[in-house]
Amino acid sequence: MSDHSAPTPVTAFEPITIGSLRLRNRIVMAPMTRSRAFGTRANADMATYYAQRAGAGLIITEGTQPSPVGQGYPDTPGLHTNEQVEAWTAVTGAVHEAGGVIVAQLMHTGRIGHPATTAAVGSGALTPVAPSAVRAAGSVFTPEGPRDHVQPAELNEDEIRATIADFAAAARNAVAAGFDGVEVHGANGYLLHQFLATNANQRTDDWGGSARNRIRFTVEVVEAVAAAIGADRTGLRISPANGLGDTTEDDAATLYPLLVERLNGLQLAYLHLVEAGDAGLTPVIRAAWKGALILNAVTPDSRDDSARLDRVARGEADLVSFARAYIANPDLVDRLAEGAPLAEPDLTKAYGGGREGYTDYPVLARDGASA
């Protein structure tokens, strides 16, 4: 008698290989700015923080600037100096010793920044840059407190090329620092997303206008990073139509499938999709993308993070990422596997400060012992 039973669904706790990254499970720690890289360099507390969370199949670091002008917030780390590279080696070493896999997220914030922030770290009062000289609405946190966004400087052709080269150099620095790969941040209203947006990108040259032109910067950054370290160690994060950073994408439904089509030939390690804008695009992108898909998913209750695991079982994604849940649950994979309650983070301690609210969240107590 033949067996016509349905195949057993894949679970998020099973191993997977994406590109050159061999992962013990399909649960990903999403990138989260924590503003504890004082002087733009990683430190011992950061090594502890990431090593505590090495049970994740993949750790993606907080956004890390590829150049001084790419810094948007206080106390975020860089990967553009020898000192920064050396500082990161302690972090990657600690994660690897704990059995984890870690990639660096390269984040150029573009117009979401302020001269006061770069001045505070000795880089000079740098004017943020963008595809067009269009100021973002709202304000940004600086060492002097919240300040209104300033009008950014429009990148010229040579500066665009130099910025692409900065990403490639930072990717090489990431590998030199011991990272297993790099995620390029093309989401959440930062520089690559600004080039994709119809309101932030008002250029009339080959970098703006049509959707095909507006995806060019993202494509060329990813191509440069892949050429520098290997496509099998390169990922890209996108967030279609989520509106962050005062971005508008009038043609998201056609732009993102076009972007995915252009990237498919590179054979990247993964695409990381933030489902915070038009969730209807998720199945479209899933069908168009030929590689591994990490989904930062919307759930009925944002605190019910275990519901995200079902997206893997249903085949809607290959992996799922968690952000907030990882702040207060360093052993998140174990808690999800056991169906244990998740601790809630103290978000008043999410940004800046010391170890409190950073490395002092406990793991589950077992065998009657406190953890």
Active-site residue set: 190
Cβ pair 351, 33 in contact under 8 A: yes
CA 262 to chain centre: 20
Tokens representing 341 are 């309650």
Confirm if 65 and 109 have CB atoms less than 8 A apart: yes
Instruction: Using alpha carbons, list the distances in angstroms from residue 104 to 59, 67, 183, 361.
Output: 9, 14, 6, 23
Residue type, 261: E
Which two structure tokens, joined as six digits, stand for 81?
A: 């100096």
Could you tell me if 56 and 268 are in contact, meaning their C-beta atoms sit under 8 angstroms apart?
no
Token pair, residue 31, equals: 């990138």
Rounded Cα–Cα distance for residues 88 and 100 (Å): 15
70, 87, 61, 16: which is closest to 270 by C-alpha?
A: 16
The C-alpha angle 65, 66, 67, rounded to 5 degrees, equals: 90
